[in-house]
Chain A
Amino acid sequence: MNSSTQKRFAGRTGSGGFPASGEFESTLRLIASLPAPEGLAERVQAGLRAAPAAASGASTGRTRILAWPAALRLENGWLQSSLARSAAAAAIAAVVAGGGWGVYSRVQLTQPQRGIALPRVAAPGGFQGAGAMRTPQTLNGPVAARTVTVGTQATKAAGKPTQTPVHRGKSAAARKAVAQPAAPAAK
Chain B
Amino acid sequence: MEIADKAMYDEARQRAIEAAFAGLVSQYSGTLYRVAYSVLRNAADAEDAVQEAFMRVLRHRETLDEVRDQRVWLIRIVWNIVLDRKRRAKTRPETDDVAELARVLPAGGLSAEERAAAAQHHARVLACVEQLPAKERQVLMLSAFEELTSVEIASVLGITESSVRSRLFRARNLMAGLLDHQRSLR
Contact = CB atoms under 8 A, between A and B. Distances in A.
Interface in B1-57: 22, 25-26, 29-30, 33-34, 37-38, 41, 43, 47, 50-51, 54-55
A9 B176 contact: yes
Interface residues of A, number: 39
**Interface band, chain B:** 35 or more
B95 interface: no
Nearest to A10: B173
Contacts of A1: 131-133, 174
Nearest to A21: B172
Given A13-B177, A48-B25, A28 B140 contact: yes
A30 B181 CA distance: 23
A43 interface: yes
Contacts of B129: 24, 28
Given A24-B125, A28-B140, A55-B59, A19 B176 contact: yes
A40 B54 contact: no
A175 interface: no
Contacts of A9: 173-174, 176-178, 180-181
B41 to A, nearest CB: 8
A49 to B, nearest CB: 10
Contacts of B43: 37
Nearest to A27: B125
Contacts of B181: 9
A18 B55 CA distance: 41
B21 to A, nearest CB: 8
Given A9-B178, A28-B129, A59-B61, A43 B47 contact: yes
B59 A58 contact: yes
Contact of A32 (B22, B122, B128, B144): B144
Interface of B: 22, 25-26, 29-30, 33-34, 37-38, 41, 43, 47, 50-51, 54-55, 58-62, 104-105, 121-122, 125-126, 128-129, 131-133, 140-141, 143-146, 170, 172-181
